[in-house]
Every structure is written in structure tokens, then in C-alpha cells.
Amino acid sequence: MEFLERFIRLPLDQLPFFLVTILIAFTVHEFAHAYFANKFGDPTAKLLGRVTLNPVVHFDLLGVLLLVIAGFGWARPVPVNRANFEKPRLMGTIVSAVGPLSNLLLAIIGAIIYGMLFGSGVLGSIENERVATALMIFLPMFSITNFFLFMFNLIPLPPLDGYRILEDVLPPSISRKLQGVEQWSIFVFLLILVIPPLQAVTIQPLYLFATDMYRDVVGLIIELYLK
């Protein structure tokens, strides 16, 4: 067990909760991309079987392993052909945005459920200590992780959704210039992920803000119960 803990960033007793969180977060995120792309007239994702909530088709094994070991990872990207959209720039923006927005929705749902369980006294009245502990670990982790993914995916660097949104909302002439430096931007993104000083001014503040968002929602729900 000690050998594993050297390579895994989370305590082993929390790892199952984290894997379930990522399973749901990544699956819903990629499904949202695929669903709206298909609705807007691009059948690419549907033909590849991606318009589904089956996590198997969305997961990238290497991406998940790196997420557990190194703290960053990815799901299998949903292919989107904007040429099939009636309004490529508008619909492309929406398709890119719904992924992060799905994580925001999951985060809010998780925080509301925890706030309701805590504020109503249900959480404290659960006799099974293991169940109560599991809920107290899973729901905050689920909510904070999804708040983080919402903000992280909006960073305007490839291959994140924020970059695709930026491409679609900027004038075409500027978008073409961005495409010319896209490969270098990916290196910048990777540096942010792996260099601790850069993480300290990018990733860590996002995580702290995600935690604050979670606490704000939970606090609001608890206040409603106390009134």
C-alpha cells in the first residue's frame, strides 16, 4: 500500500470516490459536446457512438491514469465538424461551451444535495457511520472537482474548450493567426500543468476558487433550512 501511495496523489481510501467523480464528470462533459453537435447537424459524434452516457466510450485510459498519478489527465475528445453546422461560429461556440457548463451543473447539484443533507439534519442522523463518511467525502469532492473542471476548461489554451470558444468568437482574421501558433500554445498549456511555480499561479487558485464556490452554495442551502 505504501508503494502505491508514493505514486498516487490521493489517499487510497479516497481514490474510489475520486474515480467515480471523474467517471461522471468526464462522461457528462463529453456527452454534452456530442449531443449538441448532433442536434446542430453534425452527425460525426453520433456515427462514432459518442452520443451516450456510457463512460467506456468517452474514457482514455492513459488520461485517467495520469490524472490519478500526476494530477492532470483527459477524456477522449469528441470529434466535431463545424462545417456541418448551419451557423458554424455560433453553434461551434455553444458546442464548446456546453461541456464546461455541464460540469458547472453537476457541481451545483452536488453542493445542493450536500447542503440539503446537512441543513436538514439527515446527514447527522445516518446510523451507518460508513455511509455518512462516504457522503461527507464524496459530495464535497464531486462538487469541488466539477467547479474546478468548469473553470479549468474555460482557459483559452488548446486543447481546452476555452480556446475553441475564443476561436469562434474572435474575428476570422484573428482566429487564423491563433491557429498559426496553436502548436506552441499547447506547449504553454503543458508547462502550466507540470511546473509547480506555474501551477501556483494558475491551477491552485482555480482549485481554491472552486472550493469557495462549493462553500458558498452549501452555505446558502443551509441558511435556507435555518430560516
| Pairwise CA distance, residues 18 & 108, whole Å | 17
Q: Quote the pLDDT of residue 85.
A: 97
* 3: confidence class by pLDDT, cuts 50, 70, 90: very low
- All cell numbers assigned to 196: 509547480
Annotated active-site residue 182? The verdict is no
Q: Quote the pLDDT of residue 1.
A: 41
Q: What mean pLDDT is predicted for residues 71-99?
A: 92
Strands (E), the chain: none
| Selection from 139, 146, 67 nearest residue 104 by Cα | 146
- All cell numbers assigned to 221: 442551502
Task: Yes or no: say if 32 and 102 are a contact pair by the CB < 8 Å rule.
Answer: yes
Report helix angle 203-226 to 88-119, nearest 10: 50
- Hey, which residues does 75 pair with through a beta bridge? 59
Q: Quote the pLDDT of residue 70.
A: 63
- Hey, which residues does 59 pair with through a beta bridge? 75
Per-residue pLDDT for 36 more than 80? yes
For the CA atoms of 192, 198, 203, 208, the dihedral, rounded to the nearest 10 degrees, stands at 180
* 43: confidence class by pLDDT, cuts 50, 70, 90: very high
What single letter denotes the amino acid at residue 60? D
- All cell numbers assigned to 29: 462533459
Q: Quote the pLDDT of residue 214.
A: 98
Q: What mean pLDDT is predicted for residues 162-167?
A: 93
Q: Identify the active-site residue in 2, 5, 30, 129.
A: 30
Q: Which residues of 140-175 are buried (b: 16+ CB within 10 A; e: fewer)?
A: bbbbbbbbbbbbbbbbebbebbbbbbbbbeeeeeee
**Picking from 79-88, 156-165, 173-182, which range would have the lowest pLDDT averaged per residue?**
173-182
Q: What mean pLDDT is predicted for residues 17-43?
A: 96
| Pairwise CA distance, residues 36 & 9, whole Å | 34
Q: Quote the pLDDT of residue 5.
A: 44
Q: Quote the pLDDT of residue 116.
A: 96
